[in-house]
Amino acid sequence: METIKLTIDNKQIEVEKGTTILGAARKLGIDIPTLCHMKLDDLNIENKPGGCRICVVEVHGRRNLSPACITKCDDGAVIRTHTPRVMNARRTVMEFILSDHPKDCLICPKSGHCELQDMANRLGIREIPGQEIAEMSTYRKDTSPSIIRDLDKCIMCRRCEMMCNEVQTVGAIGAFNRGFMAAVGPAFEQNLEYSPCTYCGQCVAVCPTGALTEVDHTRDVLRAIVDPYKVVVVQTAPAVRAALGEEFGMKPGTLVTGKLVSALKELGFDYVFDTDFAADLTIMEEGTELLSRLGKFLKGDKNANIPILTSCCPGWVNFFEHNYPELKDVPSTAKSPQQMFGAIAKSYFADKIKVDRKNMVVVSIMPCLAKKYESQRPEFSVDGNPDVDFSISTRELAHFIRQANIDFVNLPDSDFDRPLGESTGAGVIFGNTGGVIEAAVRTAYELFTGKKLSRLDFSELRGMEGVRQATIDFDGFPLSIGIAHGLGNARKLLDEVKAGRSKFHAIEVMACPGGCIGGGGQPLHHGDSSILKARAKAIYEEDKNKPIRVSHENPYIIQLYKEYLGEPNSEKAHHLLHTHYFDRKAKIVVKP
């Protein structure tokens, strides 16, 4: 490794050749302000268009100021990061950016979490010279089932474009036009709804301003709770409990399961249940499906659809429907846990408490924005009544809790209600990349071999690498597993499946980097990947502390099959818990 020496703010440092000034300064603990730049270390994701010019610094011997995020360090360079000239330039740049930005921070959904707002404050901007004569660029608002685009608030940092194109390889949005008219959006400036957008929400997760936000359903949920004729049932996804605390100043990776349940009860939900229960149910259905396909495959059936692909992640489902419709029979037909929960709540549970499904409102708390779209899919409703009425993100729930003046940090712990609140450790780990397949392995192993597992932690399936593979010994049969998180990584595995070259028996895909813990609806990480790692650790900790850690031993799951469904993959189970997929590939219309 070739290294160079340089001086930043009178401090000496030796760095690897090719390091940027920003990188070297951060090593020294010098905080150069940045706006468009974003780096997620462990995921190899970096956005540095060098566009905003907030990070300019003075390099001795250079006439112009240099942007620290894209300027590589020279050997012997002398750099100063906060000289009067630099401070003056930064303020001017910020004034220009703000002159073309709406000033309605009071009602902006990003208010308080906005990087632009923070930067204006940090740089001490108190007025914008020439504002009276400054031109403002305006653009129509675009509302999709999950995401709202308000480009008046876009500062062209292009983080969203980087996530959509390079990380996710979805290609729904890109920059168009030039100069003042430049904006980021789908081709031909259509609405997101008519683009290949998967609603994974990673664009929202990295947007520094209010240009990209989620559709807020908290008002609808509040109305349902207020309505005395409605029974309101809530389910919370596994990844929520590992991140919600961050919204209330708690350390990343703090598990708040018990407080979450207490808060939901205080908010007035009639039944507080757990999506983890439905995750256990998913394992029963998907695991059985895996074994049945595997059986056919081992008998030499070429159409056994091996590898089986997981289908819990709605962003991923949208992705293959748009990009690989020819493979639409390969993913498991099992619905996602959110939808399994909705279907069971509005049938089995509604019957149990003698409530008509029309008077039951099912709300889900999700780390995800694609879940909003998923809940609105017409195939997930009965006579126009959706199985899941509203899906709100972790962030929306935090807002909701604050509105209700609940002192979240000091809440006592409570337990989920029965029967749909009981879950196993296998259900919890659905929140991490590798978790769904690990949960499936725990159950499939015991069903396949008829033997008890000697260990429950499959560390070979865990980690943050984008594409992982492992072989699990199923009592002499080597089960080959592939795992991808981030849709760009999924594409690599899918291309192999399409070409018939895949060596795997089962593949797990989650659309978001890190899995659901890094979902588009989670508290904003602002580019700090250590937060994702802390959340992942918390999820495995929760698993470890559960008395039951395999899905098929969940007593309420056993009861559900006994009382209602019969057995996994039964006709009734298929009717309620399975789905099918659609070809959504953009068609080129040709005149006959």
Partner 1 sequence: MSSIKIELRQQDVDKINEICDSFNNEPLELINVLHKTQEHFGYLPAEVQEVIASKLNISTAQVYGVVTFYSFFTMTPKGKHPISICMGTACYVRGAEKVLDEFKKELSLQVGQTTPDGKFSLSSLRCVGACGLAPVVLVGDKTYGRVAPDDVKAILKEYA
Is residue 354 part of the annotated active site? The answer reads no
Relative to beta strand 56-59, strand 78-80 is antiparallel
Single out the catalytic residue among 214, 246, 247, 289. 289
Closest listed residue to residue 77, CA positions, set 104, 59, 95, 55:
59
The Cα–Cα gap between 395 and 399 comes to 6
136 touching partner 1, by CB under 8 A: no
Is the Cβ of residue 379 or residue 495 nearer to partner 1 in the bound state?
A: 495
Is residue 289 part of the annotated active site? The answer reads yes
Q: Which amino acid is at 8?
A: I
176 touching partner 1, by CB under 8 A: yes
Is the Cβ of residue 88 or residue 190 nearer to partner 1 in the bound state?
A: 190
499 touching partner 1, by CB under 8 A: no
* Integer angstrom CA distances of residue 457 from 25, 239, 549, 558, 586: 40, 19, 10, 23, 42
Are 89 and 83 in contact by the 8 Å Cβ rule? The answer is no
107 touching partner 1, by CB under 8 A: no
* Cis peptide bond N-terminal to 102, omega within 30: no
Single out the catalytic residue among 114, 371, 391, 423. 371
186 touching partner 1, by CB under 8 A: yes
Is the Cβ of residue 186 or residue 314 nearer to partner 1 in the bound state?
A: 186
190 touching partner 1, by CB under 8 A: yes
Is residue 5 part of the annotated active site? The answer reads no
- From 107, 133, 499, 589, residue interacting with partner 1 (rule: CB under 8 A): 589
- From 187, 250, 447, 548, residue interacting with partner 1 (rule: CB under 8 A): 187
CA 529 vs. chain centroid, Å, equals 13
591 touching partner 1, by CB under 8 A: yes
- From 33, 67, 185, 386, residue interacting with partner 1 (rule: CB under 8 A): 185
586 touching partner 1, by CB under 8 A: yes
196 touching partner 1, by CB under 8 A: yes
Single out the catalytic residue among 69, 73, 197, 312. 312
Q: How far is the CB of 100 from partner 1 (least distance, A)?
A: 19
- From 63, 103, 178, 302, residue interacting with partner 1 (rule: CB under 8 A): 178
Q: How far is the CB of 592 from partner 1 (least distance, A)?
A: 8
Residue with tokens 């596994």, as numbered in its chain: 238
Is residue 465 part of the annotated active site? The answer reads no
- From 23, 49, 102, 174, residue interacting with partner 1 (rule: CB under 8 A): 174
Output the 3-class SS for 398-417: HHHHHHCCCCHHHCCCCCCC
188 touching partner 1, by CB under 8 A: yes
Closest listed residue to residue 11, CA positions, set 26, 28, 27, 23:
28
332 touching partner 1, by CB under 8 A: no
175 touching partner 1, by CB under 8 A: yes
Residue 15: strand pairing partners: 4
Please compute, for residue 389, the number of CA atoms within 13 A of its CA located in the half-sphere on the CB side: 24
Q: How far is the CB of 83 from partner 1 (least distance, A)?
A: 36
Is residue 312 part of the annotated active site? The answer reads yes
325 touching partner 1, by CB under 8 A: no
Residue with tokens 């005395």, as numbered in its chain: 228
- From 156, 173, 212, 272, residue interacting with partner 1 (rule: CB under 8 A): 173
* Integer angstrom CA distances of residue 437 from 228, 366, 422, 430, 509: 41, 20, 20, 8, 9
Is residue 286 part of the annotated active site? The answer reads yes
Exposure class string for 260-298: b at 16+ Cβ within 10 A, else e:
bbbbbbbbebbbbbbbbbbbbbbbbbbbbbbbebbeebe
Sequence length of the chain is 592
588 touching partner 1, by CB under 8 A: yes
Q: Which stretch binds partner 1 (CB under 8 A): 145-153, 163-171, 329-337, 546-554?
A: 163-171
Is the Cβ of residue 179 or residue 228 nearer to partner 1 in the bound state?
A: 179
| DSSP, residue by residue, 256-294 | -HHHHHHHHHHHT-SEEEEHHHHHHHHHHHHHHHHHHHH
- From 189, 329, 356, 413, residue interacting with partner 1 (rule: CB under 8 A): 189
Q: Which stretch binds partner 1 (CB under 8 A): 79-87, 185-193, 202-210, 339-347?
A: 185-193
User: Which residues have a Cβ under 8 Å from the Cβ of 102 and sit 6 or more positions away?
Assistant: 108, 136, 152, 153
The Cα–Cα gap between 367 and 304 comes to 33
431 touching partner 1, by CB under 8 A: no
- From 47, 71, 195, 502, residue interacting with partner 1 (rule: CB under 8 A): 195
Relative to beta strand 183-185, strand 147-149 is unpaired
Q: How far is the CB of 164 from partner 1 (least distance, A)?
A: 8
Cα-only R_g, the chain: 25
Q: Which stretch binds partner 1 (CB under 8 A): 190-198, 298-306, 312-320, 447-455?
A: 190-198
Q: How far is the CB of 188 from partner 1 (least distance, A)?
A: 5
Are 386 and 512 in contact by the 8 Å Cβ rule? The answer is no
Question: Could you give the maximum distance between any two Cα atoms of the chain, in Å?
Answer: 80
Site for partner 1 in 333-392 (CB under 8 A): none
Single out the catalytic residue among 95, 246, 285, 286. 286
137 touching partner 1, by CB under 8 A: no
Closest listed residue to residue 514, CA positions, set 470, 484, 491, 540:
484
- Give burial (CB, 10 Å; 0-12/13-18/19+) of 551: buried
* Contacts with partner 1, residue ranges (CB under 8 A): 165, 170-178, 185-190, 195-196, 586, 588-591
Q: Which residues are catalytic?
A: 286, 289, 312, 332, 371, 374, 379, 516
